[in-house]
Structure formats: C-alpha cells, structure tokens
Structure 1
Amino acid sequence: MTNATIEKFGFPATLIHEYRHWVILLRPAQPTLGSLVVAAKSDATAFGDLPARAHAELSAVTRDLEHALRGALAFDKINYLMLMMVDPHVHFHVIPRYEGEREWAGVSVTDAGWPGQPVLGQAVTLTAEQVEALSGWLKELWPV
C-alpha cells in the first residue's frame, strides 16, 4: 500500500526497506548524505491516527535505520523531523548529522547547518543514477 506522499518521494526507485506499516525511502534531496524518509503506508494524516501496531513497529524501524546509517556514515547525531506541511501523510525526514562532509559514490554532501538546525534548502538533488547507487548501498547495510 502506498499513498501520494510515498510516491512524491520517488517510490519505488527510492525504496530502501519495507516494514508492515512503514517504508524507508532515500530522500531525493540530500541535506546530509544518507538522508531518508520514514513514511507510514496508511492514509493517515495525523500521527495519532496511526494504529497502535504502527507506533510499536517504529521501535524496530528506528533501530534498524540508525544501525545502517551509523555503519554507512558514522554520524554524530540524527534528527527526526515530522513536518507534514506540504506532504500530508504521516512521515518523518531523517537527517544524519555530522561535522564537515561525507562522500560516497561521487556524491559529496556537507552538513551546512552543523552544529545547529539542518539546512534543508541547501540539499544536493540526486540524479536517477545516484538514487540507484545510494539506495543500493544502504540496502546492503540494512539489518536482516
């Protein structure tokens, strides 16, 4: 099951991992390398409207994504942003934070906001080839 928010973030090309209630997507615009979107598969537009099982599953989702991103990037902090202003369905932007720059497969991204708030407007927009390379890399690092 998908919704318009999931599709806007490039599904299925950006899909990293799928859970029963959630999908993990590579964020097509990268304010920091490894930025993701965690999106609920339901049509809910309010976090509190998700079923209890979706909330419970979030524990495994965050554990897995932090494990994969830590292995990929050695981030210093991680920010979870639930903005839902333009894209109405329940989703989080996951922004790994680090001082300086990270690079993989020719994609180099500096954390422009470090150590303050993330600067979403200075994101690197990925090409289709970069989406494929980065999502493949993160899929390989995802816990089984």
Structure 2
Amino acid sequence: MATELDAFREKFQVDALSVAGTEHWVLSVRPQQLTLGSMVLSTRANVLDFASLSEAQSRDMAHLFGEAERRVKTLFGAARINALCLMMRDPLLHFHIFPRYENKVAFAGQDWIDADWPKPPQIRPVDEDPEINRALRDALRGGVGS
C-alpha cells in the first residue's frame, strides 16, 4: 500500500529531480517552474505536521533552506526566496520554494521574468518542461555549499 510519502515523491519526481539532501530532507526541482529555480523541500519520512519533527529534522530543514537560497542567489541572482507550506492536496510536510527576481534572467535559452515581483507569488499552473527541469537540476546540484 502506497503511503503519502510514496505518492508525494512520485508526483513531484523527487528522485529524478533531487538537488541536495540530508538524512531527513530532500531538496528537489519543482516540476512546474513558477519562477526560475523553483524547488520543493520535502521530508524523507512520512511526517504530516510540524509537531512531529525532531530537533535533528528541524536542523536539517533549516540547513536546506539556506542551501536553496544560496544556490539560486549564486547561480541566477535571485533577490530572495519565498517558501510556502500549503499542504492542502499533499499532506506530507513540504515547502514550495520560489526564488524571486527583480529583473529578467536568462537560462537555457529562455528569458525568465518574475511576473508577480514584488508582490507574493501567485500559484498558478505552469507547463512542465522536462528538459528545463533536468538542466536546472544539474545547475543547482553544482551550486554552492553541501
């Protein structure tokens, strides 16, 4: 029987798009790129709420948030990151990380514009592009830190 963890990992292609990880968390490219370098930070365990996190899990979470921020700032010049923990359809504890950009950024032959800057990101459907996702995964894996 599949768990929430299994379903989540499949839906978000966590294994194929993994960028960095710790014992407790994995940082992966978000299949739908709302802004350049959008990622998902998800627990490796079947954790459904913050109250269930251990101290070590909390430390690892903070470490990977820092890694996500460092990598998109270094690689793409992101001004900051926004992290949303919605968990409405996917109950596994996870965050959507959206790098934010004041200016247009070029990557993989495309110009990327943060249409919502400087307001909060509006979550909307975005077409998945497997080639872009693989290029982002590779670029972000080669980023700083870890």
Confirm or deny a common fold (TM above 0.5). yes
Residue in 1 aligned with 2:129?
Answer: 127
Taking the TM superposition and a 5 Å limit, the aligned residue runs for 1:66-105 are 66-105=69-108
Counterpart CA distance in 1 for 2:83 and 2:73 is 15
Per mean C-alpha deviation after superposition, the further-off stretch among 83-92 and 134-143 is 134-143
Q: Do the aligned partners of 1:101 and 1:110 also contact (CA within 8 Å) in 2?
A: yes
Structure with more of its chain in strand, by fraction: 1
- From 10, 20, 26, the counterpart of 2:23: 20
Q: How big is the shift at 1:105?
A: 1.0
CA distance in 1 between counterparts of 2:43 and 2:10 reads 12
3-state SS of the aligned residue for 2:86?
coil
| Structure 2 portions without partners, runs of 5+ | none
> 1:74-129 CA distances to partner (integer Å, 9 max, x unpaired)?
11121010010011100000111112422211243321111111022163x33222
Partner of 2:63: 60
Q: Give unpaired runs (5+ residues) of structure 1.
A: none
**Equivalent residues, number:** 142
Q: Distance in 1 between matches of 2:142 and 2:97?
A: 18
1:143 maps to 2:121? no
| Aligned: 1:40 with 2:43 | yes
Q: 1:13 Cα shift?
A: 1.4
| Structure 1 partner of 2:109 | 106
Cα distance in structure 2, aligned partners of 1:76 and 1:122: 23
For the aligned residues, what is the CA RMSD?
1.6
SS across alignment from 2:120: coil
- For the residues of structure 1 that align with 2:17 and 2:118, how far apart are their CA atoms? 28
Q: Once the two structures are aligned, what percentage of the paired residues are identical?
A: 32
